[in-house]
Chain A
Amino acid sequence: MKNRTHQILPTGEGLAEERPGPRRSAFLVLVLWVIALTAQGQSNENQVPLENAHANASVVENNPLNLKTNLQDSLTERGSYNFSDMGSWIWGAKTMDRQTCRFWKSFEIPEGAKVARARLRITGDNEYTLFLDGRELGRDAEWRHLYEYDITALLSPGQHILAVEDYNSFKEAGMILGLQIGLADGRKVSVKSDPSWVVGCDGVPGWENVRDWQKMSEPPPSWPPGTIIAACGSGPWAVSPWFIEIVPPLNCNVIPFWQTGWFQITVLAVLVMLALVTLWVLTQLALRTKEQRLLQRERARIARDIHDDLGMRMTQLVLQGEVAVSEVPAQSGLHSQLSQICEDARGALRAMDEVLWAINPRRDNLREFTTYVCRYAQTFLKDASIQCTLDVEPEMSSAAFNLPLRRNLLMAVKEALHNAAKHSHASELSLRIRCQGQALHVVVQDNGRGFEPGLASPDRNGLTNMSQRMNELGGRCLIKSQPGQGCSVEMFMPLVNSRRNLLRPNWFRKFSALMTRKSNQPPLAVSQETPILHDQANQTLRQEPVEDRAD
């Protein structure tokens, strides 16, 4: 504490008369300089709860000291600078150099009251930091500056905690504070620095280790009451403040929701969950891919085993049988029996070929499917003496066409071919396979005698089977026929959603089929829907009305 040469002035009155002229101007320069420094310091300090640069500007505006050359004028103008509402200078039991002292005080705003105005003034020798309910309101390091805080907005009914940390560099030490609260109903609450405060400083065991002492609702245990060093305006600080710094009104620190703990925890939790889910999905995908690869490898192995071992033996069997046939006289019964065995063995080989075709992962594409179906149709119809013509895209796409799809579609095509061979009496049959956009279009058309779809006998399950198969694949099957005009079976299978369709529940498929039929009718579904055969629940065989047959 230096330079305590000024006269004691318990109130603000008569401050100017005591001062000689030249000293006054020097004093004013000093005041302006300090204000500038303080303003700068405040704006730089994050912890000081000035809202923003705008608030800083209002410091200047609110503070006429900055503009007025006459300090006396400014003080009288404010009219409120009597220090009767200030407390006393208080400190711990012992005063030492380089000593920190903590002050704690709780006060109560009555229930239901509304705070009209709350003004807190404070200064400390040498440095103070002021807390309200654990929140730092401000700090300063010059005891000659009195700070005035407007904390109206911060006070609500209930208990509040004032806390001050003060640091003394050397010699005299003290803190002085006064809080005036005017309630809307006219009542007043006043808090002053006095022995009702508790003090934590050297000599109080464990005082430094009290956590969150600034916001403790009970006084920190074993802290003794404060000691009055001097009354306001007396003792070593018998001098008026050089100036009074009026801090702009403090607002409730509304923490944006994204800065609140619970929000951050929620976001973090969500992110962790997301990461976990992603990880899980990725693992599943990787596993599935691996499974698929393993499955493919296994299928390839089985195919190779069947081909290399079983196929070889069966071929040998046929060969041996044929040798035996050739060495037995043609007239004997043994000859025909042996021939029959050879024929059966060939049949078994053909069946095995089909199994091999289905198993082999190399065949899981459209091109292989087309090749196989064409070959099957040609071989099969050759035996039935029906001329088969093919209409296949020369460059069939090699897009993936997985096992369940190609197998089921093959079965459906076979069914159509068998029907034609058995019932149509046709001489020619055309097989058309086209890839239209994202769908495969297979048409089997014969020039046979045809039939009346409405009168088709109920034992011809082939037609039902075909439609059922196509429905299971998410596709459609349309059978058109008229007596004497042949028969055409059109199968339409979407390639994109085919896999999803297999997984979808039945009701969903029906519903979506209904919706798509309503909204955009594909060329195949022009016909009205009339069940030809049994009235089974999932029977969706469609019949083209006679008058619709323009072709």
Chain B
Amino acid sequence: MTKPIKPSAKNPLKIALIEDQPKARDNWCRLINSFPDLSCICACKSGEEALRTIPEVPPDVILMDIFLPRMSGIECTAQLKAMLPQTPIIILTAMDDEELIFMALEAGADGYLLKRTKPADLRAALLEVLDGGAPMSSEIARRVITSFRTKAKTRDKSLHLSTREEQILLLLTKGCSNKMIADRLDLSVVTISHHLKHVFEKMHVSCRTEAAIRYMSLHNPQD
């Protein structure tokens, strides 16, 4: 993520997919490949397989289904993030469940997508994540603030939210878009995205070990 990726037909964006349903896996692949600048280079049917194969063919982005048999998507995210800290992971979920999504974000995911997202939006969201701008809903922002506040006492200072970051998150909880925040704080949209990326990184670092332990036995978080 250090170098900006500009996917093109010649040099398409390499995507790895983890999805347990064979039909769905096939459809996702076909859908991704239908875009000239996207290419599905690896489709895994389980978290275990993903941990074995993905590090060998490092992709640019990983799409991860949240419900996987045995090892859950969240646990797999935590482990993959430890192996490939630079590769963004996007969680695919059928339902807008903030609790699950927040757990995934804590575990190291960089964003999430609803499975029913329109293909055009899917592409846009992928590129946005690559640019560092993980879209964050007001509810997720609220949970992020709460999570940092509860951890503020025990963690070292470098992992605390900066004033600016907290300011941005607070505006997000009020339903402001990145553009509105930029207007209000007199910053550029890119800066806002960078701040948010930073927030995610801090969150991942502070949560990674915990998350790995916490989600080790989590197979079906819906229960």
Cβ of A315 and Cβ of B34 under 8 Å apart? no
Determine whether the beta carbon of A326 is less than 8 Å from that of B115.
no
With contacts A307-B222, A316-B27 known, is A374 near B115, CB below 8 A? no
Q: Which residues of A contact B175 (CB under 8 A)?
A: 374, 377-378, 388-390, 431
Determine whether A400 belongs to the interface, using a CB cutoff of 8 Å to chain B. no
Report if A326-B174 is in contact (Cβ < 8 Å); known contacts: A312-B21, A353-B96, A375-B139: no
Residue of B with least CB distance to A308: B222
Query: Across the interface, which residues of A come within 8 angstroms of B173, CB to CB?
Result: 390, 392, 394
Q: Which of B18-50 contact A (CB under 8 A)?
A: 21, 23-24, 27-28, 30-31, 34
A390:B138 contact, CB within 8 angstroms: yes
Distance, CA A122 to CA B220, complexed state (A): 97
Minimum distance in angstroms from B71 CB to a CB of chain A: 18
Among the listed stretches A74-82, A265-273, A317-325, which one makes contact with chain B, having 4 or more residues with CB under 8 Å of it?
A317-325
Of B95, B145, B146, the residue contacting A311 (CB under 8 A) is B95
Is B142's CB within 8 Å of the partner chain A? Answer: yes
**Cα A327 to Cα B222 with chains together (Å):** 35
Contact call B96/A316, Cβ cutoff below 8 A: no
Which B residues are CB-close (under 8 A) to A375? Answer: 96, 98, 137-139
Complex CA gap A307/B95 in Å reads: 8
Determine whether B216 belongs to the interface, using a CB cutoff of 8 Å to chain A: no
Q: How many residues of B contact A (CB 8 A)?
A: 29
Q: Is the interface of A mostly helix, strand, loop or mixed?
A: helix
Nearest chain-B residue to A303 (Cβ)? B222
Out of A320, A323, A346, which one reaches B34, CB within 8 Å? A323
Tell me if B137 and A349 are in contact (CB < 8 A): no
CB closest chain-B residue, reference A374: B138
- In the assembled complex, the Cα of A311 lies from the Cα of B27 at a distance in Å of 16
Shortest Cβ distance from residue A415 to the other chain B in the assembled complex, whole angstroms: 20
Q: Report A-chain residues with C-beta under 8 Å of the C-beta of B83.
A: none
Asked whether A356 is an interface residue with its Cβ less than 8 Å from the other chain, the reply is yes
Which residues of B are found within 8 Å of A353, using beta-carbon distances?
95-96
| Residues 384-407 (chain A) with a chain B CB within 8 angstroms | 387-392, 394-395
A322 touches B118 (CB 8 A): yes
Q: How many residues of A contact B (CB 8 A)?
A: 36
Which residues on A sit within 8 Å (CB–CB) of B94? 307, 311-312, 315
CB distance from A445 to the nearest CB of B (A): 14
- A320 CB contacts on chain B under 8 angstroms: 23, 27
CA A323 to CA B98, docked complex, whole Å: 28
Contact in complex: B34, A326 (CB < 8 Å):
yes
Total A-B residue contacts, Cβ distance less than 8 Å: 83
Given the contacts A316-B21, A394-B173, A374 and B119 also touching, CB distance less than 8 Å? no
- A318's partner among B98, B115, B146 (CB-CB below 8 A) is B115
Please indicate the chain B residues that have their CB under 8 angstroms from the CB of A387 in the complex.
Answer: 180
Q: How far is the CA of A345 from the CA of B114 in the complex (A)?
A: 14
* B204 CB to nearest chain A CB (Å): 23
Known: A318-B116, A319-B27, A322-B119. A389 touches B137 (CB 8 A): no
Tell whether B218 is near chain A: CB-to-CB under 8 Å: no
> Within the assembled complex, what's the spacing in Å between the Cα atoms of A394 and B141?
11
The answer, yes or no, to whether B176 is at the interface (CB within 8 Å) is yes
Residue of A nearest to B170 (CB): A394
A304 in contact (CB, < 8 A):
yes
Task: Give the complex CA separation of A377 and B175 in angstroms.
Answer: 10
CB of A394, distance to nearest CB on chain B (Å): 7
Which residues, 324 to 345 on A, are CB-close (under 8 Å) to B?
325-327, 342, 345
* A-contact 0/1 string along B98-133, CB 8 Å cutoff: 100000000000000001101100000000000000
B-contacting residues, A130-180, CB 8 Å: none
Judge whether A371 is part of the interface by a CB distance below 8 angstroms: yes
Q: Across the interface, do A323 and B116 meet the contact criterion of CB distance under 8 Å?
A: no
Query: Which residue of B has the minimal Cβ distance to A352?
Result: B95
Residue-wise, chain B 73-106 has the 8 Å CB interface mask toward A (1 for contact) of 0000000000000000000001110100000000
B116 touches A391 (CB 8 A): no
CB distance from B128 to the nearest CB of A (A): 16
A71, B27: Cα distance in complex, Å: 130
A44 to chain B, nearest CB (A): 77
Residues of A within 8 A of B95 (CB): 307, 311, 353, 356
Mark out the residues of chain A between 247 and 302 whose CB falls within 8 Å of any chain B CB in the assembled complex: none
Q: Which residue of B lies closest to A370 (CB)?
A: B139
Given contacts A316-B21, A374-B139, contact A394 B145 (CB under 8 A): yes
Nearest-CB distance from B189 to chain A (Å)? 16
| Complex CA distance for A358 and B96, rounded to whole angstroms | 14
B34 touches A319 (CB 8 A): no
A241 CA to B119 CA, complexed, in Å: 127
Give the docked Cα–Cα distance between A394 and B145 (Å): 9
**Complex: how many Å from CA A322 to CA B31?**
7
**Closest partner residue, chain B, to A429 (CB atom):** B175
The complex places the Cα of A176 from the Cα of B30 at a distance, in Å, of 126
Residues of the A chain whose Cβ atoms lie less than 8 Å from the Cβ of B138? 374-375, 378, 390
A-B contact pairs, 13 of them (CB 8 A): A314-B116, A315-B24, A315-B116, A316-B23, A318-B116, A320-B23, A322-B27, A323-B27, A325-B119, A326-B30, A326-B34, A353-B95, A375-B137
Question: Which 8 residue pairs are nearest across A and B when measured between Cβ atoms?
Answer: A326-B34, A390-B175, A319-B27, A315-B115, A323-B30, A371-B139, A318-B116, A388-B175
Not counting A346-B116, A388-B175, a sample of 6 additional A-B residue pairs whose C-beta atoms are within 8 angstroms of each other reads A315-B116, A326-B31, A353-B96, A356-B95, A374-B175, A390-B173
